[in-house]
Amino acid sequence: MKKAFTLIELLVVIAIIALLLAIVVPALHLAKRKGSLIVCMVNTKNLSLAWYMYKEDYDGRIMSAQMEGREPGGHYVGWTGTPRDVNGATMSITQSSPPVTDADEIRGIERGRLIEYVKDPKTFHCPGDNIRRSKYDGTPVFLSYSVPTCLYAATDTSSTRYKQQIVKYGEITSPSQRYNFVEVAQTRNWNMSGWFSFGAPEWTGDNQRWGWWDPMAVNHGDTSVLGFCDGHSESRKWQDSFTKERVNKLIAQNVDTYNVEYPPAGQTEDIGYMVKGWAYRHRQ
């Protein structure tokens, strides 16, 4: 007579498997998140080091935070470039067809000054940035990082903004405390202009308050990664619910033109961290 499992035995086995899955799946998810955080920290470290190396080759002048940035006379200083199709034509940040692919974004990256030092375009993408989609063409956004506007966003010397930024590395005090790369979560076809807009007084005209402007990505649970002007990177675990929830709120609102938002009272620890790292306010 053949032996067979009883119904109770089968139910016990199924229960054990379910229990194991309940234990293993969250652990795998946590391991995946931790892995993407490590890769992102390596990425921002390499980007920051490349940014640092550039100023060594150009008498202390830093590359521009502006996408396609050119100085008077035509000298190209933009850290990255506008996405281009296979024929070299620039693409629109709001076009829906044809979609802006990763290859198109990489062709833009390859026009920037930073790729000369980094070499690998994959460095410009965080593996944790795998949910964001453009509201226009529905494709994933490849470029995960942006450079703060205070780090040479205006290349026109006649611009008022030119005097409200840092152009030379020597103007930066305590480079290890001033960030130069930020994870950004715009939902256009790519991060517009290549820079990170922050609600600093010189940009808003409000000398009493600092606020959030562009949506900072929270790609690693409640944590983001930033690169710094001395070439290191670090993770920041956000403390305020306003910070952690803002990205999803803006996505739900279908926003692509961002306005400055000021955190409510009692939720200013994160904004304080960003203020401390805003290089222009601590310049020489």
Classify each residue of 44-54 as buried b or exposed e, where b means 16 or more C-beta atoms within 10 Å of its C-beta.
Answer: bbbbbbbbbeb
3-state secondary structure of 84: strand
Residue 181: CB atoms within 10 A of its CB come to 28
pLDDT of residue 186: 92
Residue 172 phi, psi (nearest 5): -85, 120
**Residue range 101-125: mean pLDDT, rounded:** 97
**Beta strand segments in 44-158, E:** 145-148
For residue 214, what are the contacts with CB-CB under 8 A and spacing of at least 6?
Answer: 146, 184, 186, 191, 196, 197, 198, 258
pTM across the whole model: 0.88
* Cα angle: 233, vertex 188, 44; to 5 degrees: 10
pLDDT confidence of 14, banded at 50, 70, 90? confident
pLDDT digits (tens, 9 = 90+) for 153-197: 999 998 888 999 999 999 999 999 999 999 999 999 999 888 999
pLDDT of residue 31: 56
pLDDT confidence of 274, banded at 50, 70, 90? very high
pLDDT digits (tens, 9 = 90+) for 243-259: 999 988 998 888 878 99
Spell out the domain ranges in the chain: 8-282
Number of alpha carbons in the 13 Å side-chain half-sphere of residue 223? 17
> Residue length, the chain?
284
Q: Is the pLDDT of residue 22 over 90?
A: no
Mean pLDDT lowest among 25-29, 99-103, 174-178, 232-236: 25-29
